[in-house]
Amino acid sequence: MDTKDLPANILDPNCPSRVIFQRIGDKWASLVIQVLGDGPVRFSELRKMVNVVTPKVLTQTLRTLERDGLITRTVYAQVPPRVDYQLTPMGESLLQPLSMLREWAESHVPTIMEARDAYDDAQDEALLASPK
């Protein structure tokens, strides 16, 4: 059974949309894309702007983004080397959905922090009530 003509369905583990969905949710990938939203950035700049990622992991992230056609990598033949990363049109089309998520996250920070505090307090009390 070939999946390529079936309707995309994130809940199907065999559906590529699921893999793509998870790539978007990747810890660094989504941050990189948002940073690149303002134009091309070189490797070392990217490292500074996306605090704080090790070079190995940043490279991995950039390679998969490039493979998926979301960014392009441009090497300038100079020394010291210069490599620019920038969004493709498809990469740019991700900016809007991502910024909606970012806005959601930023606007719900206080509520979530309160929920965590309340939850942790309840855990502490439960622990006191039944100290094994």
Which amino acid is it at 44? S
Under 8 Å CB-to-CB from 50, ≥6 apart: which residues?
28, 31, 32, 35, 58
**Nearest distance from residue 73's CB to DNA, in Å?**
7
d(CA 78, CA 80): 6
Q: Is 86 in the site for DNA (CB under 7 A)?
A: no
Contacting its own copies (CB under 8 A), which of 44, 45, 59, 112? 112
Sites of contact with its own copies (CB under 8 A): 4, 8-13, 15-17, 20-22, 24-27, 30-31, 34-35, 49-52, 66-70, 90, 93-94, 96-98, 100-109, 111-116, 118-120
